[in-house]
Amino acid sequence: MQGNEVIFMNERIVFMGTADFSGTVLQMLIDEHYNVVGVVSQPDRQVGRKKKTEMTLVKKLALAHDIPVVQPAKIRTDYADVVAFEPDLIITAAYGQIVPNAILGAPRLGCVNVHASLLPKYRGGAPVHQAIIDGNKETGVTIMYMAEKMDAGDLIAQRSTPIDDTDTVGKVYDRLAALGAELLKDTLPSILNGTNSRTPQDESQVTFAPVIKRGDERLDWDMSARDVFNKVRGLDPWPGCYSVYQGANVKIWAGHVHECANAASHEGTPAGTIIKIFKDAIGVKCGTGIYLITELQMPGKRRMSVKDYLNGKNIFEEGERFEQPCA
């Protein structure tokens, strides 16, 4: 660390996080030799068909650096171990549970959060997904004070990054993790010595990004082709979009809007109808326009390009339809 700022390297910091986004932020704190006295992460989960129990990335990283880890199942009531760390500052990033007032009021320097949106836009658990689904051209990260109301605390600092048409939620998520760690690195000294800025959020500008549910993953072909394009990349690589064809759930992983001069000739065709099967794409009629599927995944199979899929057993036929969600 450099500069004339007063940096309190002995201040006791507790870090709370679970997702890979969190790991990038924790790694920065470790690399910069901050005094991380404890890490709080979600309980280990069973993953895969064999239900193998796996530690979170944050837990693995903490244990590798001999940092104590606690994993309360319900932080709202099981917070004693967190308070027992006697933190001067708590930093959270993609932790995954609502932090109660008993924790928010414990550290003398408060609790700050690294949030993956430009607040007050996209409060909630899926801000990166929603920014892409909505077709935004920009997103970013916010360092903020935590409050009892979700993502409603005062703003400390923000940094933005563009979203282009080649971006997926995975790509943007990784970029924001690095950006968030970098912004926290630049901001943390001022938070520790009390010289940081603090700006209340404009409540009139608030939007929300709730956690993606299973029903949100199903494509509605009544949307415009552009909206389908945004939704597919906004859920790639997790949790992924799907559509039902001949009773099978087909994952739609990639594609693009078909720029064709005769799209208007299909205006009377029901949404979800396969208009044309090309050698490397499947053209599907949308509410407006045509979406070309270029990458998919059949049940029990691997993710693959449409070109590779069509070289094998093909169940898709022109004139047939993907099923629409029930109203």
Whichever domain contains 286, its CATH number is: 3.10.25.10
282 assigned to some structural domain: yes
For 41: left if phi > 0, alpha if psi spans -120 to 50, otherwise beta; the answer is: beta
Do 43 and 161 lie in a common domain? yes
Residue 155: CB partners within 8 Å, gap ≥ 6?
119, 142, 143, 144, 197, 198, 199, 200, 201
169 assigned to some structural domain: yes
Do 113 and 195 lie in a common domain? yes
8 assigned to some structural domain: no
Do 179 and 43 lie in a common domain? yes
Half-sphere exposure in the Cβ direction for 195 (13 Å, CA): 11
Do 145 and 292 lie in a common domain? no
Do 165 and 145 lie in a common domain? yes
- DSSP annotation of 29: H
Do 190 and 228 lie in a common domain? no
323 assigned to some structural domain: no
Round to whole Å and give the CA distance between 171 and 29.
23
Do 179 and 232 lie in a common domain? no
Query: 299 phi and psi, to 5 degrees?
Result: -55, 130
Q: What pLDDT, on a 0 to 100 scale, did the predictor assign at position 250?
A: 98
Half-sphere exposure in the Cβ direction for 194 (13 Å, CA): 3
Round to whole Å and give the CA distance between 113 and 109.
13
CB 285 within 8 A of CB 270: yes
Do 129 and 268 lie in a common domain? no
67 assigned to some structural domain: yes
Whichever domain contains 173, its CATH number is: 3.40.50.170
- Domain of 115 in residue numbering reads as 13-205
Partnered with residue 288 across adjacent β-strands are 224
> For residues 168, 114, 23 and 165, what is the CA-based torsion angle, rounded to 10 degrees?
10
196 assigned to some structural domain: yes
The structure tokens listed for 260 are: 């064709």
Cβ atoms within 10 Å, residue 188 = 26
For the chain, what's the residue count? 327
E strands in 76-154: 89-93, 111-115, 138-145
The distance of Cα 302 from the centroid of its chain, to the nearest Å, equals 23
**Tokens 């995954």 appear where?**
96
pTM of the model: 0.94
CB 98 within 8 A of CB 30: no
Do 189 and 223 lie in a common domain? no
243 assigned to some structural domain: yes
Residue 309: CB partners within 8 Å, gap ≥ 6?
296, 298
| Number of structural domains in the chain | 2
1 assigned to some structural domain: no
Cβ atoms within 10 Å, residue 193 = 14
The structure tokens listed for 276 are: 């044309």
Residue whose C-alpha is closest to residue 15's, from 98, 89, 117: 89
Q: What is the mean pLDDT of each run of 10 residues along the chain (327 residues)?
A: 56 96 97 97 84 90 98 96 98 96 97 98 97 98 95 98 98 98 97 96 97 96 97 98 97 93 76 96 96 97 97 95 87
Q: What pLDDT, on a 0 to 100 scale, did the predictor assign at position 327?
A: 60
Round to whole Å and give the CA distance between 159 and 182.
10
CB 95 within 8 A of CB 159: no
Do 87 and 122 lie in a common domain? yes
Do 21 and 95 lie in a common domain? yes
SS3 label, residue 57: helix
CB 253 within 8 A of CB 295: yes
